[in-house]
Amino acid sequence: MYLKDGCSLVLKVRKPSIPFVLNTKPILDVDKPQVQSENVSVLMESEVVKRLRHERDIVLALEYFKSLANSRAFKHTHLTYQTMIEKLGRNCNIDGVQYLLQHMKLEGIDCSEDLFIRVIHSYRRAGSADQALKMLYRIREFGCKPTVRIYNHLLDSLLDEKRFQMINPVYSNMKGEGLEPNIFTFNILIKALCQNGKVDGACKLLVEMSSKGCPPDAVSYTTIVSSMCKIGQLEEAKKLASTFAPVVPVYNSLIHGLCKEYKFKEAFDLIIEMLDKGLDPNVVTYSTVISCLCDMGNVDFSLAVLGQMFMRGCSPNIHTFASLMKGYFLCGRLREVLSLWSHMIQEGVKPNVVAYNTLIYGLCANGYIEDAISVCNRMEENWCFPNVTTYSSLIYGFARAGNLQGATETWNKMITCGCHPNVVVYTCILDVFCQNSMFNQALRLIEIMNKEGCPPTVVTFNTFIKGLCASGRVEWAMSVLDMMEKYKCSPNIITYNELLDGLFRVNRFKEACGLMKELEELELELNSVTYNTIMHGFSRVGMQEQVFHILGKMLVNGAKPDATTINIIIYAYCKLGKVKTAMQLFDKLTDEKEWRPDIVAYTSLLCGICNSLGIEEADVYLHKMTTEGIFPNIATWDVLVRCFFNNLGHVGPIRILDDILGNG
């Protein structure tokens, strides 16, 4: 599948591996006169190391390393090997690292503890911790003995890749070597237990540490407290925190846990407690509160916290500003976002990739895609390079606009830069395909995702189903359920919501009822969207009484009616001729400020009033509507014009239309 200028959608630009051979004898060029040994300039180790470290191009650095190995000017040392291995490791060139280790062994240069740790880091960067483990079992071949530090770095690498099942055997092997674990070892084990959902085991390890003469430190406690807060065990976390001397990171974890549950009063109480105990809340403390408040859309309160932060002499960091920007975007306050960005730059806070991504996503989500592209270009000019999240946001922006060309150009740029797409990017591209009725390409993309090791999620399939239903291809959409089973992806309530909506749209009432029955059998919890979709479907075919039956089920099952629910109910009452009941419901909800009517609600009510009660009553609600700044759309005009011509003998309609035109 080709998108632009022959660029394949799944083109993967990989860094070529760097082949090299270190000869044991110098290569003589027969076309050049031989340099006599007395003219050979001998290099110092410090000069070689300096040049290797300062050479940014890995290929040139390696060429220089090889040229020295094949000359008589310098004999590589432990330090030059270590420098080159570290450089190759940063570029994830594992083959090169292994090859140099073998050459060290052949030349009788022993591998030190520091060098072996660098080798482990190389495997870690490449996501090959299991290969690092294999090298550990060969460590003595390279003239190095296992140490606690080496084991710690290896355990941390395994943890980084969540290889939980390998951690305990490696730890046991370490003890078998006669090596005693230190505080770093125990903290890695605690972290592993917590990440694997075994917080109780981590707590038991605290006791074991103390019994072995290695008392837990702030990191030990912070890790467990943070994990308890993440799984909602706030009370247990507080109890554990009370058993040791208070430290700021532990308080930060507790505050974060409280904020996530919107317990802001308790969070502020903890900040006061910190101050009472002589602990100064840091930028993490304040930024945590600000971030959670912004997630709730409560930006004004978060600004008050920012003010307190300044008063305490604590300067905001990039994460503080990024959280505030996110909050402003959620509230639709774009001007404040741009003002905040300018203030951040003036304060000397250099934006990082997270800040740029926050700004780009917010612009894309609000339809300012051109501005987002401009920010992305500026980002690159400032040597802050886009990542998969950046490209994901841009493609999402193009997807919202249905812009296939913009999305594919961004995709091609992402691939050319060597940035591998994730499931979010794939799903956004699939959305663009669906909006452009390119369903075969969308299907092919799902197959590609699986082959590329990025299997489609339920969100991907829901996007595909939504696109198919929107174009009336409901049969195909229904068949996607079987496809999901093939990919071992279970449908969720959103999947069924999209299918129900699609079936009702094409008047496939019988199949829709069959799907509803299937939902009952699956015992899947229905949400307000499900009930609204079903009620709207019944309403479309004139089964208004059934609408109220579904509403009853909705209330019994604890699903909360929303604005769409109310609109459907008002319409159903009006269609049944119960216009006064509809008016009472309308007035009650608006008077109690539980609901703000939109143009749909007003149009439905006006239609019912015009058909049943007449012009004078309609005039009251039309005046309410225009007073609230809601003006008629085509459907409203249709109702009013029909009412006008049905009541030509009255002055009311003329006044009503004059009011509308005057206000409009």
HEC per residue, 433-473: HHHCCCHHHHHHHHHHHHHCCCCCCHHHHHHHHHHHHHCCC
Model confidence pLDDT, tens digit, residues 497-506: 999 999 999 9
Among 177, 209, 242, identify where a domain stops. 177
CATH number at residue 22: 1.25.40.10
Q: Are 341 and 374 in contact (CB under 8 A)?
A: no
Total domains in the chain come to 2
pLDDT score for 41: 58
The rounded Cα 400 to chain-centroid distance in angstroms is 18
Q: Are 359 and 325 in contact (CB under 8 A)?
A: yes
Nearest to 382 by CA among 341, 423, 426: 341
Higher pLDDT, 70 or 298: 298
Residue 106 resides in a domain:
yes
pLDDT score for 648: 53
Q: In the predicted model, what is the mean pLDDT of residues 343-372? A: 90
Quote the percentage of the chain above a pLDDT of 70. 91
Alpha-carbon distances of 575 from 538, 579, 605, 607, 619, rounded to whole Å: 12, 8, 10, 9, 20
Phi, psi of 643 (to 5 degrees): -65, -40
- In the predicted model, is pLDDT for residue 369 greater than 70? yes
pLDDT score for 74: 81
Pairing mode of beta strands 7-8, 2-4: antiparallel
Mean pLDDT, rounded, of the chain: 85
Interior CA angle at 457 toward 452 and 459, to 5°?
Answer: 130
Q: Are 78 and 112 in contact (CB under 8 A)?
A: yes
Residue 418 resides in a domain:
no
- In the predicted model, is pLDDT for residue 363 greater than 90? yes
pLDDT score for 498: 95
Quote the percentage of the chain above a pLDDT of 90. 42
pTM over 0.85: no
Alpha-carbon distances of 633 from 252, 600, 626, 638, rounded to whole Å: 51, 9, 12, 9
Residue 127 resides in a domain:
yes
Q: In the predicted model, what is the mean pLDDT of residues 401-406? A: 90
Residue 497 resides in a domain:
no
**Complete DSSP assignment for 154-220:** HHHHHHHTT-HHHHHHHHHHHHHTTPPP-HHHHHHHHHHHHHTT-HHHHHHHHHHHHHTT----HHH
Residue that has been written with the tokens 């895609």 in this structure: 369
Model confidence pLDDT, tens digit, residues 7-30: 344 333 334 344 444 443 433 343
CA–CA distance, 181 with 405 (Å, rounded to integer): 57
- In the predicted model, is pLDDT for residue 36 greater than 70? no
Among 177, 202, 232, identify where a domain stops. 177
How many other CB atoms sit within 10 Å of the CB of residue 315? 11
Among 159, 177, 195, identify where a domain stops. 177
pLDDT score for 494: 94
- In the predicted model, is pLDDT for residue 236 greater than 50? yes
Residue numbers of the domain that contains 102: 13-27+41-177
pLDDT score for 94: 78
